[in-house]
Structure 1
Amino acid sequence: MGIFNRIFNVGKAEAHAMVDKLEDPIKMTEQGIRDLKKDLDKSLQALAEVKAMSIRSKKDLNDSKSMAKNYEQKAILLIQKAEKGELEVAEADRLATESLSKKEEALEAAKRAQEEVTRFDNNIATLDKNVKKLKSTISSYENELRTLKARARVSSATQKINKQLSGIDSSGTVSMLEKMKEKVAQQEALSEAYGEISLENRSLDDEIDDVLSEKNVKASNSLEELKAKLKNKSE
């Protein structure tokens, strides 16, 4: 039996691990907020219903009080009529007694209505407290959700950048740059060597043409003019 329990516990642990991997904290928070809003809607509906019953009970209370007062006034009027001789005393007493009985029934109804009003008002206070708590909780969770979404975007962007940076082979890049520098240096040296070789391999005609070139002629004339100026100054 023990080995089956161990196998079951291992399977249960693996199942929990799979669920943890599938859980998305943002989606879970959004679902939690949706559930709370459903609870809030139900609480608001219950609050409205209890308030409606409270309003009706208060109306019944006022009606019963008014009825009791009205029956008492009728009993007084009946007695007054009997005193004035407008109504037989026995009949007045009978009707007055019936009116007072109705008054007591109205007072009992008023008492029951008052108890209902008190109970409903207590229920309203409790429901109103729960509604305010739910609203505050939902607002708090929505603020946390906005923060969580912002953090998720930042962490996702950071993760991408870090992943890209981690894929860069800095040592290989430096090695390639060094090889490039060496290759360029070799090309520059080779170019310079070819230049020297080309000068060494000039023919006699090339040297003559170079001496007689316009550039060298101008330079020679400038040299002669400079010598003449120096000679004039010395004289």
Structure 2
Amino acid sequence: MNLFDRLSNLTKATLHEVLNKVEDPIMMTGQYLRNLEEDISTAEGMLKQQKMTVSTLERKAKDAEEDAKKSELNALTALQAGNESLAHQSAAGKIHFEEQAAKYAAEAEEVRSNIVELEIRLQEGKEEYTRLKEKQSELAARARKAKERAQAVRPNFSRGIESGDAARGFQRMEEKILEWEAGAEVSSQPFTTSNNVSSAPVEDDSAVREEIQRLKNKLSSK
């Protein structure tokens, strides 16, 4: 793609493509502007070179025209002196210089056309740069406000932490503390025996005496 095409594409581009990218849109707009600056600088250098080329071609065309006139004068002088050979040579030189003058003039005209086109593209590029620069400032302000709103709702967002992490962390800490509290509550309960085994319930004394007597009677009957 030549410079003309690239400048044309840039002047027709919008920022929608940038905003659809994953990267930071403000950073990407800055890169677009830097690219456009480089192209403008390149076009300005080319424009300067083209103007120098036109000046060179115009000078060469003028010199060739002067040489053609001199050759014609020499041919006339040779004819007046009866020198056919020199007259023929001078006439051929005149034709050659006239052809050179026409060639240089045509090339200069072509370069002038390129200069006109390049100047138009360059002006468009500069205008587009100014517009995009203003647009970048607008987008930067909008992005800053959006981040501020997001931070107000989700404080952890600016550090790349998903919303809700802090709340879930607090919940886990509360669950842990509840475990500690439950453990402390269990630890504070006294044991009923040293071996942590509950003793058999104490029955009525008369019932016990009766059971003992029954057992004795059973043994004596054998």
TM-score interval (norm. to shorter): 0.5 to 0.7
Equivalence for 1:97: 88
Equivalence for 1:56: 56
Which whole-Å CA distance do the structure 1 matches of 2:112 and 2:131 have between them? 28
Equivalence for 2:67: 67
Deviation at 1:106, TM superposition (A): 0.1
- The amino acid across from 2:73 in the alignment is Q
Q: Residue 50 of structure 2 aligns to a residue in which SS? A: helix
Q: Percent identity?
A: 25
Which of 67, 76, 97 is 1:106 aligned to? Answer: 97
In structure 2, relative to structure 1, the CA distance for the partners of 1:156 and 1:43 (3 Å cut) is same
Deviation at 1:156, TM superposition (A): 3.4
- The amino acid across from 2:46 in the alignment is A
**If each structure's helix is expressed as a fraction of its own residues, which one has the higher value?**
1
Query: Which runs of 5 or more structure 2 residues have no equivalent in the other structure?
Result: 1-18, 156-222
Scaled by the length of structure 2, the TM-score of the pair is 0.55
Deviation at 1:75, TM superposition (A): 2.2
- The amino acid across from 1:74 in the alignment is N
Residue correspondence of structure 1 range 1-235 to structure 2 within 5 A: 22-79=22-79, 82=80, 87=81, 89=82, 91=83, 93-161=84-152
Write out per-residue CA displacement over residues 143-174 of structure 1, whole angstroms, 9 at most, x where no aligned residue: 1111112222333344445668xxxxxxxxxx
Scaled by the length of structure 1, the TM-score of the pair is 0.52
Deviation at 1:28, TM superposition (A): 1.0
- The amino acid across from 2:34 in the alignment is R
Which whole-Å CA distance do the structure 2 matches of 1:52 and 1:34 have between them? 27
Which whole-Å CA distance do the structure 1 matches of 2:89 and 2:33 have between them? 61
Equivalence for 2:214: none
- The amino acid across from 1:130 in the alignment is R
* Greater C-alpha radius of gyration: 1
Q: Residue 41 of structure 1 aligns to a residue in which SS? A: helix
Write out per-residue CA displacement over residues 54-97 of structure 1, whole angstroms, 9 at most, x where no aligned residue: 22111111111111111112223334xx3xxxx3x2x1x32222
Query: Which runs of 5 or more structure 1 residues have no equivalent in the other structure?
Result: 1-18, 165-235
* Aligned-residue RMSD, C-alpha: 2.3
Which whole-Å CA distance do the structure 2 matches of 1:39 and 1:20 have between them? 24
- The amino acid across from 1:113 in the alignment is Y
Write out per-residue CA displacement over residues 179-205 of structure 1, whole angstroms, 9 at most, x where no aligned residue: xxxxxxxxxxxxxxxxxxxxxxxxxxx
Deviation at 1:51, TM superposition (A): 2.0
Query: How many residues end up aligned between the 2 structures?
Result: 137
